[in-house]
A and B are shown apart, each in its own frame.
Chain A
């Protein structure tokens, strides 16, 4: 067998090896899933646990504290899923907005040439990002909001808004007939502004003439809908909260569970956003700023035209992943009883129906869908803004 040393043995061939290894891998994964699947079937049958998605149309029979879509005890578990999902999205969207505002402010403040402001921002960031989010949620909910007075001793702002341990009560707008025109005018105004903006940019590129868009935008977006509003006869009334019986009735309520969750989520996520903003601005080469100043650009123009566009390239990917974290972290709602997806669906519904597999799979599916959508957006953005090297 002296010639075998020259001729490669088949199992030393890289291609065969890789094929063999992958087949093995597939077999192991398949084996693993078969193992889990057969156990599951066996266990479900032996323990008499119901299966399938039929439960989604069953009557739920329990109340939910906050719901943006109509919901009553007579609605189905499928509806509970929707209510939870909407509540999750509500706290996520509000959280993203607040976290972004606080985060950008603090990120810029850390780089401020005012020593005191920079230090305060640093202390804020270092304090809140090193304390677990759940602890912060508990702190706001149990230690801060629980000290508010009862309904009868509410803190009132005139007869309009009331704050007590049960929540913040505000007047609720009720849109009458014709309010649709106002909305329509508003949407149209935004579209027109957008078109004018594009035209102005193009003209600046071609001729160098600048066009101040702000005045036009203000006129279009604020004044036009306002005119329409009065033209159709001001079709807006307010439903005022008032103390009747035990509680305030009417108006809209911001429940303390939402406030606590939102505060904690925004403050916590904002620390990471502040860091992203700071690193993004620092990543812009100082030569760029100096060159722009040398060209005679005003400081605000330097920021707007040179620093921010380049910083955003660094900031946006980190920002998206922080938004993603915020959405996932909103699931901590369950710890203080805010009725989000995990609390009402993976919690209460699971307990009432016992169908763990279906429910956990649906819950995870929702988060997975949100995550993948946001990452897809991020990839698209990265490709779009990738630096074109010249």
Chain B
């Protein structure tokens, strides 16, 4: 007698050891003996580092107060940062004029957000305003000297404000120079090409710190004696040259990614070189290199800390100077952690944004 099985037996559930939490653990943490050892070392490492760090930074930390006496526990003394937060943000900028700095940065924040968010209308107009009008507004807000705003000399600028100013102005001025250099490097004219190559390779070959030394020490010798550059301007000139060389290489990458057909088509239409570049090539190339530009901006943002070596008071320098206050000796770790978190949050979010863009822009231009 034969038995006909008409209904298939139901699937057996996976063994208990390969599903659920246990399965996940086995697969991801204990798949082999070496792996298990690594996992245990990792857990030990985390156990040794993370709880004490959290304990120090948050749980036993002191948050409120105005003097050193407020720091009674073993944890971090954030009072030190709190007491000097205005100095860390604005340097020696007069307190009554802080609103100018805040207004200026808020305005640029709104403008940039407008340009970055996709749904907003009238992008062209806003972009033109940002490029042509905003710098003038920002100059008068920061420096003053018009519309009844008192002058605030640049040696009073400092802290996070100075860091942001150096990075944004450096970037803003370096971009057009970088584009011209990139075009020069890809030009068919031998002299224009070699001048661009020499310029780019020179600035990329030397450390920023020597560039800053050069601009702060040698600029006064190179220029007519009647021209006086203040310290901030000298540092900025150095930063712009340095940054433009890096920018040129980023833009060049974008130019190379544009298919030849685009050039040929533009030429076939009878467009001149500059028209081809302005209306056909650059809009496509620049769109491609936005992530690269953001990445160089991140690098520049971190590099602005170097200005403390030539005596400008950026965020790091202001915090460092505060350590020397006899009232607050011994809180350097808190200060460094504060600066590190400011930089980390900014750089990490920018790099995430650039990765997001990279994914988004990766579509239409696959080679």
Q: How far is the CA of A117 from the CA of B36 in the complex (A)?
A: 11
The answer on a CB contact under 8 Å between A143 and B332 is yes
Name the residue of chain B whose CB is nearest to the CB of A330. B207
**6 tightest A-B CB contacts, nearest first:** A371-B205, A115-B28, A130-B347, A328-B207, A132-B302, A331-B207
A22/B189 contact (C-beta < 8 A), A135-B316, A135-B343 known: yes
Q: Please give, as numbers and ranges, the residues of chain B lying within 8 Å of A174 by CB-CB distance.
A: none
Q: Is the interface of A mostly helix, strand, loop or mixed?
A: helix
Within 8 A of A (CB), among B164-212: 188-192, 195, 201-202, 204-210
Name the residue of chain B whose CB is nearest to the CB of A354. B217
The answer on a CB contact under 8 Å between B343 and A131 is yes
B147 at the interface (CB under 8 A from A): no
Q: Please give, as numbers and ranges, the residues of chain A lying within 8 Å of B225 by CB-CB distance.
A: 39, 42-43, 46
Q: Please give, as numbers and ranges, the residues of chain A lying within 8 Å of B340 by CB-CB distance.
A: 131, 135, 139
The answer on a CB contact under 8 Å between A39 and B206 is no
Q: Please give, as numbers and ranges, the residues of chain A lying within 8 Å of B222 by CB-CB distance.
A: 36, 39-40
Q: Count the B residues whose beta carbon is within 8 Å of the partner chain — how many?
A: 55
Flag the segment in B8-16, B42-50, B107-115, B131-139 that touches A: B42-50
The answer on a CB contact under 8 Å between A21 and B192 is yes
The answer on a CB contact under 8 Å between A26 and B38 is no
A134/B38 contact (C-beta < 8 A), A29-B195, A331-B207 known: no
B218 at the interface (CB under 8 A from A): yes
Point out residues on B near A: beta carbons under 8 Å. Answer: 28-29, 31, 35, 38-39, 42-43, 45-46, 188-192, 195, 201-202, 204-210, 213-214, 217-218, 220-225, 298, 302-303, 305-306, 308-309, 316, 320, 323, 332-333, 336, 339-340, 343-344, 347-348, 351
A177 at the interface (CB under 8 A from B): no
- Taking a contact as CB atoms closer than 8 A, the residue among B214, B308, B323 that contacts A364 in the complex is B214
Q: Please give, as numbers and ranges, the residues of chain A lying within 8 Å of B306 by CB-CB distance.
A: 134, 332
With both chains docked as a complex, state the minimum distance between the C-beta of B200 and any C-beta of chain A, in angstroms: 12
A367 at the interface (CB under 8 A from B): yes
Q: How far is the CA of A113 from the CA of B39 in the complex (A)?
A: 11
Within 8 A of B (CB), among A358-390: 360, 363-364, 367-368, 371-372, 375
A130/B344 contact (C-beta < 8 A), A114-B31, A114-B39 known: yes
Q: How far is the CA of A40 from the CA of B303 in the complex (A)?
A: 29
The answer on a CB contact under 8 Å between B201 and A372 is yes
The answer on a CB contact under 8 Å between B207 and A114 is no
The answer on a CB contact under 8 Å between A335 and B309 is yes
Q: Please give, as numbers and ranges, the residues of chain A lying within 8 Å of B348 by CB-CB distance.
A: 126, 130
Name the residue of chain A whose CB is nearest to the CB of B350. A130
Q: How far is the CA of A135 from the CA of B346 in the complex (A)?
A: 15
Q: How far is the CA of A321 from the CA of B198 in the complex (A)?
A: 18
A143/B221 contact (C-beta < 8 A), A138-B320, A367-B205, A368-B205 known: no
The answer on a CB contact under 8 Å between A117 and B38 is yes
A210 at the interface (CB under 8 A from B): no
Report 22 cross-chain contacts, Cβ distance below 8 Å, ordered by A residue: A21-B192, A22-B189, A22-B191, A29-B195, A114-B29, A114-B31, A115-B28, A116-B38, A130-B348, A134-B306, A135-B316, A138-B316, A143-B336, A331-B209, A334-B209, A334-B309, A335-B309, A350-B217, A356-B217, A363-B213, A367-B207, A371-B206
- Which of A132, A133, A346, A372 has its CB near the most chain B CB atoms (within 10 A)? A132
The answer on a CB contact under 8 Å between A134 and B206 is no
A44 at the interface (CB under 8 A from B): yes
A58 at the interface (CB under 8 A from B): no
The answer on a CB contact under 8 Å between B305 and A132 is yes
The answer on a CB contact under 8 Å between B336 and A329 is no
A53 at the interface (CB under 8 A from B): no
Q: How far is the CA of A28 from the CA of B103 in the complex (A)?
A: 41
Q: Please give, as numbers and ranges, the residues of chain A lying within 8 Å of B339 by CB-CB distance.
A: 135
A132/B210 contact (C-beta < 8 A), A39-B221, A356-B217 known: no
Q: How far is the CA of A37 from the CA of B350 in the complex (A)?
A: 42
A25 at the interface (CB under 8 A from B): yes
Q: How far is the CA of A126 from the CA of B306 in the complex (A)?
A: 21
Q: How far is the CA of A26 from the CA of B189 in the complex (A)?
A: 12
Q: How far is the CA of A138 from the CA of B222 in the complex (A)?
A: 33
Name the residue of chain B whose CB is nearest to the CB of A356. B217
Q: How far is the CA of A367 from the CA of B220 in the complex (A)?
A: 23
A367/B206 contact (C-beta < 8 A), A134-B308, A360-B218 known: yes
- Taking a contact as CB atoms closer than 8 A, the residue among B35, B190, B205, B214 that contacts A114 in the complex is B35
Q: How far is the CA of A358 from the CA of B39 in the complex (A)?
A: 56
The answer on a CB contact under 8 Å between A135 and B336 is yes
A342/B207 contact (C-beta < 8 A), A22-B189, A25-B195, A36-B222 known: yes
- Taking a contact as CB atoms closer than 8 A, the residue among A131, A139, A360 that contacts B214 in the complex is A360
Q: How far is the CA of A114 from the CA of B46 in the complex (A)?
A: 15
A368/B206 contact (C-beta < 8 A), A130-B348, A143-B336, A356-B221 known: yes
Name the residue of chain A whose CB is nearest to the CB of B344. A130
Q: How far is the CA of A315 from the CA of B270 in the complex (A)?
A: 43
Name the residue of chain B whose CB is nearest to the CB of A130. B347
- Taking a contact as CB atoms closer than 8 A, the residue among A44, A126, A329 that contacts B221 in the complex is A44
Q: Chain A 302-345 against B: per-residue CB contact (8 Å), 1 yes, 0 no?
A: 00000000000000000000000000110110110000001000
The answer on a CB contact under 8 Å between B35 and A113 is yes
Name the residue of chain B whose CB is nearest to the CB of A360. B214
Q: Please give, as numbers and ranges, the residues of chain A lying within 8 Å of B217 by CB-CB distance.
A: 350, 356, 360
With both chains docked as a complex, state the minimum distance between the C-beta of B56 and any C-beta of chain A, in angstroms: 13
With both chains docked as a complex, state the minimum distance between the C-beta of B253 and any C-beta of chain A, in angstroms: 13
Q: Please give, as numbers and ranges, the residues of chain B lying within 8 Å of A364 by CB-CB distance.
A: 206, 210, 214
With both chains docked as a complex, state the minimum distance between the C-beta of B31 and any C-beta of chain A, in angstroms: 7
Q: Please give, as numbers and ranges, the residues of chain A lying within 8 Å of B224 by CB-CB distance.
A: 39
A181 at the interface (CB under 8 A from B): no
The answer on a CB contact under 8 Å between A342 and B218 is no
A130/B209 contact (C-beta < 8 A), A113-B28, A335-B309 known: no
With both chains docked as a complex, state the minimum distance between the C-beta of B105 and any C-beta of chain A, in angstroms: 20
Q: How far is the CA of A113 from the CA of B195 in the complex (A)?
A: 50
Q: Please give, as numbers and ranges, the residues of chain A lying within 8 Å of B308 by CB-CB distance.
A: 134, 335
Q: Please give, as numbers and ranges, the residues of chain A lying within 8 Å of B214 by CB-CB distance.
A: 360, 364
- Taking a contact as CB atoms closer than 8 A, the residue among A18, A134, A357 that contacts B316 in the complex is A134
Within 8 A of B (CB), among A130-186: 130-135, 138-139, 142-143
